[in-house]
């Protein structure tokens, strides 16, 4: 078989033609670019100085010459590839402040994915977030810099489990946290995030709702509404490690300290906190209240990212790292742009069913 040049000028190897162009990988569709120079030069220093100002509180000056060449290369290649980076609030500061186009919690990222005006979406986050972007943008190329970036909640339940729940509780609506696979999203009635979970549950106007997979988010929602919640037994491996005793010790040390927690935490942690909310709601709370001393009970990078935006708040960091989020790094983002990997692929039949539950959540506009 002959090699050919496609209409958009991309060289299509004979082996790909033999498979059929529908099966082309992203690298075959877009081509691989040369790896840019990663030297620390006066030009790199000048081009990134305004970005260093945003992260100088957490990145020592001696380390900047390592980060800056990656940041410049990524920002240049984003333009060349017509790509956007959607980054979750748990991305490290050099990603969050220096290469991301959009930052936010799961809900904001899902909404922004529908507005993305680019050919390529690079997800700075975990796999379920990239899948959600792909489900909402079936015609765009969605890349995740490390496809092993999973989530203990998403791993705790399958589409078949939802089918069993349907048989066990006929007629009871099923709400899935977005921290689930496309297979699960395809089987449920609607999705929710920790920003809108209470309102999503109440949107059905019934007295019983099933919530999967986070038992702690479900318990927190149950404490905020009269609706009976039937919960799955999943948990976030990062947030379930916090304890109420730990929080009480911070209060004993300094009774004036403010403590805010994510709803994926166990109930004794939430009971000991001054405020509970999604990552975006936590950031808003800090900006609104400007506490003097603050403990953020969530993933470590959040406090680093918020610290540069809120002056006058001393962050006490009893945080836990999410090993999945931390798989995403500047070198891997650069590899994504150069080699067009790892492409997120969702079976179109599954995506066509899953999009309904995500879109119903977005359409509630809450």
What is the binding site for ligand 13P (CB under 6 A)? 89, 105-106, 179, 193-194, 236, 264, 278-279
| 260 lies in the binding site for ligand SF4 (CB under 6 A) | no
Task: In angstroms, give the least distance from the CB of 86 to ligand SF4.
Answer: 15
Which positions from 291 through 320 interact with ligand SF4, judged by CB under 6 A? 299
Task: In angstroms, give the least distance from the CB of 285 to ligand SF4.
Answer: 19
Q: Is 317 helix (H, G, I), strand (E, B) or coil?
A: coil
Nearer to ligand 13P, 212 or 337 (CB): 212
| 236 lies in the binding site for ligand SF4 (CB under 6 A) | yes
DSSP state of 313: -
* Residue 89 binding partner per list ligand 13P, ligand SF4, none, with a CB distance cut-off of 5 to 8 Å that depends on partner kind: ligand 13P
> Closest by alpha carbon to 54, among 269, 279, 306?
306
Choosing from 157, 211, 307, 322, the residue that interacts with ligand SF4 (CB under 6 A) is: 322
- Largest Cα span, the chain: 76
243-326-191-85 Cα dihedral, nearest 10 degrees:
140
| 91 lies in the binding site for ligand SF4 (CB under 6 A) | no
b/e map 205-224, b = 16+ CB within 10 Å: eeeebbbbbbbbbbbbbbee
Q: In Å, how far are 178, 258, 310 from 288, measured between CA atoms?
A: 27, 13, 10
* Residue 101 binding partner per list ligand 13P, ligand SF4, none, with a CB distance cut-off of 5 to 8 Å that depends on partner kind: none
Choosing from 151, 260, 302, 361, the residue that interacts with ligand SF4 (CB under 6 A) is: 151
Q: Is 336 helix (H, G, I), strand (E, B) or coil?
A: helix
| 152 lies in the binding site for ligand SF4 (CB under 6 A) | yes
* Residue 324 binding partner per list ligand 13P, ligand SF4, none, with a CB distance cut-off of 5 to 8 Å that depends on partner kind: ligand SF4
- HSE toward the beta carbon, residue 274, CA cutoff 13 A: 17
Taking residues 98 to 127 in sequence order and writing x for each that binds ligand SF4 by CB under 6 A, - otherwise, the string is: ----------------------------x-
* Residue 194 binding partner per list ligand 13P, ligand SF4, none, with a CB distance cut-off of 5 to 8 Å that depends on partner kind: ligand 13P
Within 137-212, where are the H helices? 159-168, 182-185, 197-202
Asked if 198 and 223 count as a contact pair (C-beta separation under 8 A), the reply is no
- Residue 95 and residue 125: Cα distance in Å, rounded? 11
Cα angle for residues 355, 240, 130 (degrees, 5° grid): 25
Stretch that binds ligand SF4, among 21-29, 151-159, 250-258, 349-357 (CB under 6 A): 151-159
Q: How many CB atoms lie within 10 A of CB 234?
A: 25
* Residue 45 binding partner per list ligand SF4, ligand 13P, none, with a CB distance cut-off of 5 to 8 Å that depends on partner kind: none
* Residues at the contact surface with ligand SF4, assessed by CB under 6 A: 126, 151-153, 179, 236-239, 264, 299, 322, 324-325
């Amino acid at each position: 078989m002959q090699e050919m040049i496609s209409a958009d000028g991309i060289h299509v190897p004979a082996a790909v033609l033999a498979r059929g162009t529908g099966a082309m990988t992203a690298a075959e569709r877009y081509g691989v670019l040369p790896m840019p120079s990663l030297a620390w030069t006066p030009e790199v220093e000048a081009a990134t100085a305004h970005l260093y100002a945003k992260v100088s509180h957490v990145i020592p000056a001696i380390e900047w010459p390592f980060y800056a060449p990656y940041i410049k290369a990524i920002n240049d290649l984003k333009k060349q590839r017509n790509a956007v980076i959607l980054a979750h609030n748990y991305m490290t500061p050099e990603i969050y402040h220096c290469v991301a186009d959009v930052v936010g919690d799961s809900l904001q990222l899902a909404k922004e994915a529908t507005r993305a005006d680019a050919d390529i979406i690079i997800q700075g986050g975990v796999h379920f977030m990239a899948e959600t972007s792909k489900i909402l943008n079936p015609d765009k190329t969605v890349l995740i810099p490390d496809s092993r970036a999973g989530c203990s909640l998403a791993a705790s339940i399958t589409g078949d489990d939802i089918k069993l729940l349907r048989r066990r509780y006929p007629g009871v609506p099923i709400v899935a946290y977005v921290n689930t696979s496309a297979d699960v999203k395809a089987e449920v009635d609607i999705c929710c995030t920790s920003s809108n979970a209470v309102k999503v549950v109440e949107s059905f106007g019934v007295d019983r709702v099933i919530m999967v997979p986070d038992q702690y988010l479900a318990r927190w929602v149950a404490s905020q509404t009269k609706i009976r919640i039937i919960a799955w037994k999943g948990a976030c491996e990062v947030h379930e490690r916090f304890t109420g005793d730990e929080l009480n010790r911070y209060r004993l040390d300094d009774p004036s300290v403010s403590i805010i927690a994510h709803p994926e935490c166990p109930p004794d942690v939430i009971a000991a906190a001054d405020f509970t909310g999604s990552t975006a709601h936590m950031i808003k709370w800090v900006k609104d209240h400007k506490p003097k001393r603050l403990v953020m009970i969530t993933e470590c990078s959040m406090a680093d990212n918020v610290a540069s935006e809120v002056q006058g708040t001393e962050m006490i960091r009893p945080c836990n790292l999410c090993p999945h989020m931390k798989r995403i790094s500047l070198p891997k983002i650069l590899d994504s742009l150069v080699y067009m990997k790892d492409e997120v692929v969702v079976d179109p039949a599954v995506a066509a069913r899953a999009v309904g539950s995500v879109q119903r959540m977005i359409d509630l506009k809450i």
